[in-house]
Structure 1
Amino acid sequence: MTARKSWRRVDGVLLLDKPTGMTSNAALQAARRLYSAAKAGHTGTLDPLASGLLPLCFGEATKFSTDLLAADKSYECEIVFGISTDTGDADGRILTRSPVGFSAADLELALEGFRGPIRQVPPMYSALKRAGRPLHELARQGIEVERAPREVCIHELRLDDFSPGRCSLLVRCSKGTYVRSLAMDLGVALGCGAHLGALRRVAVGSLQIDDAVSLDVLATLAEERRQGCLLPADALLQSLPRVLLDEAGGERFLHGNRVAVGATAGRCRVYSGSRLLGLGEVDADGSLQPRRVLGGLDK
């Protein structure tokens, strides 16, 4: 008979380098078991096709897991030209094959049309829902529904490599951007069709893939070194300004009360000494309102 898993409180953020072929939830659960963490969550899914940066939250850090959803993301991707698929990626069924005859200069010219604010139709093979059902479930049943185009922003679109039939790009984009849609639309613009051959996420906000660790490496570490891979909960909040309260102000904040701070209006991370108290928002009159409050967590 297998012994029951003993879960414990673990607080912090793990920057995981997710492997290709694994769902974000499967990666989360694997990491959770390695830490025996009682509470865990991720900061937004990364497609099974994709590898790369998947920030995971444990314990009190899960209160901030949604704060990275609005962050810009950066990807390295390979686009294959001349072949379109029903999923827009390499796992899909081939729909068309077309000759490829454009140059690197033609590609650079086409890329210019995708930089900055653009309107993008979400792919059917996505986690977006219609009447409570994910679009990818409908797509697998051969059902296609109309999707309204959405405005996204491609902050950076850099051509890193080009060879006949394929290219490598660095894409830095706003939330809600689908790189597979970018690949398909680029294929249409070049008149040959295209699909996403490979995708790797290399940054989420200020968090970088160079600081991430793989599940395989985590599994080999002793417990102390594994704990050392965790970042503090405020690693997810570094883009927000820091507001420091005295002891009395900190107590008021922790009990859900407003505190006069005179800081610039907007969302902020709140501390008393070195202790992270939570997430707040400063009103136009300089009054700090608690939004998410932590308990018993030191920075």
Structure 2
Amino acid sequence: MNAPRTRVQRRPVHGVLLLDKPLGLSSNDALQKVKWLLRAEKAGHTGTLDPLASGVLPLCFGAATKFSQLQLEAPKTYEAVALLGTTTTTGDAEGEVLQQRAVEAAQITPERLAAVQRQFTGPIRQVPPMHSALKKDGKALYEYARAGIEVERPARDVVIHALELALVLTEQAQPAIKMVVTCSKGTYIRTLGEDVGAALGCGAHLTFLRRIGTGGIGVERCVTLAALEAMDEDARLACLEPVESLLAQHVRVTLDSDNAGRFLSGMRRRGPWADAPAVAVFGERPHALLGVGHVAGGELVPGRLLSPLEIQQILESSPRAERGTLEPTL
């Protein structure tokens, strides 16, 4: 007879954990593992990373989930390797081989590679792959693909902000293209690898994919799941970055206690601020993040706000925090 499972006692946890996601785990599986390790009540991630990809995956806990969309919208940077000469049903190593061609490294001249690099830098259009989570009629495309059904997918506009292509040889001495890509949200690196292979006249599929940056967060700041599992609970909590780490690109505005309470009630405030589309708003005493908004015509307009309870929990969990409360003013 199996022993009864111990029920995990959840607790409020607020902050951002920068995870270096391992291969083989879905983004949600990684999130659930870290949520369990932190015993957190509420969690969310900032956009999916394929199980066959590793790298930067910011995980949001508690109040940070209110701002996870900001990372979803942010540009991403990837390293990838596309094996030349072989195409697959999925555009990566998981799929069945569709076509194979012999490719000599000498065929891929620096001039051809430079021309293809220019071709795929800047605004481009991509047809999303069938093996993707995009939905048609309420059903994910990969579900159609698994059933052997091909559905029409309109091309989408994406932006390749920067692209570096280099010819490399695999351990089996096969020619491949190493790609370093900085791109807008919605870009499929598998599709880019296929399109680069097609432009080179030989086809290709991805054999390696790693996200090395998102929204200014580099992989060097991330912690691995294995390292997190080996830590005690205090060390895991110490890995959390504050909620405002998601708001690094926002203009900072600080309000006194009276205006902070009114702002938390959803009231607009007037002040000597320049117009700004994205503002992170803090209370002065105690010093605490209140939420985000924008400034137009000298008026601070509330957007996503933290609750007084969330603010108090964040203050209580910070060893250097000032004590105090911020209540909405009606």
TM tier, smaller: over 0.9
How far did 1:103 drift? 2.1
Q: Point out where structure 1 has 5 or more consecutive residues left out of the alignment.
A: none
Query: Aligned partner of 1:227: which letter?
Result: L
Alignment correspondent of 2:326: none
Structure 1 residues 287 and 214: CA distance shift in structure 2, 3 A: same
Please give the TM-score of this superposition, normalised by the length of structure 2: 0.87
Residues 36-51 of structure 1: matches in 2 within 5 Å? Answer: 36-51=39-54
Q: RMSD over aligned Cα, in angstroms?
A: 1.3
- Distance in 1, matches of 2:73 and 2:49, equals 14
Answer yes or no: is 1:281 the counterpart of 2:294: yes
How far did 1:111 drift? 1.5
Contact 1:79/1:167, CA 8 A, preserved across alignment: yes
Alignment correspondent of 2:97: 94
Please give the TM-score of this superposition, normalised by the length of structure 1: 0.96
Alignment correspondent of 2:160: 154
- Distance in 1, matches of 2:109 and 2:224, equals 35
Query: Aligned partner of 1:52: which letter?
Result: G
Question: In the alignment, which of 107, 111, 123 is matched to residue 117 of structure 2?
Answer: 111
Alignment correspondent of 1:208: 218
Residues 183-198 of structure 1: matches in 2 within 5 Å? Answer: 183-198=193-208
Identity of aligned residues (%): 49
Query: Aligned partner of 1:110: which letter?
Result: V
Question: In the alignment, which of 270, 277, 283 is matched to residue 266 of structure 1?
Answer: 277
> Could you list the per-position Cα deviations for residues 141-181 of structure 1 after superposition, in whole angstroms to 9, with x for gaps in the alignment?
11111111111111111135523520211111111111001
Contact 1:104/1:162, CA 8 A, preserved across alignment: no
Tell me how many residue pairs correspond in the alignment: 298
- Distance in 1, matches of 2:97 and 2:265, equals 58
Query: Aligned partner of 2:248: which letter?
Result: Q
Q: Point out where structure 2 has 5 or more consecutive residues left out of the alignment.
A: 316-320, 322-330
Structure 1 residues 104 and 37: CA distance shift in structure 2, 3 A: farther
Contact 1:161/1:169, CA 8 A, preserved across alignment: no
- Distance in 1, matches of 2:280 and 2:202, equals 49
Answer yes or no: is 1:254 the counterpart of 2:264: yes
- Distance in 2, matches of 1:116 and 1:104, equals 22
Larger radius of gyration: 2
Moved more, 24-33 or 154-163: 154-163
Alignment correspondent of 2:232: 222
Contact 1:76/1:171, CA 8 A, preserved across alignment: yes
SS in 2 for 1:69: helix
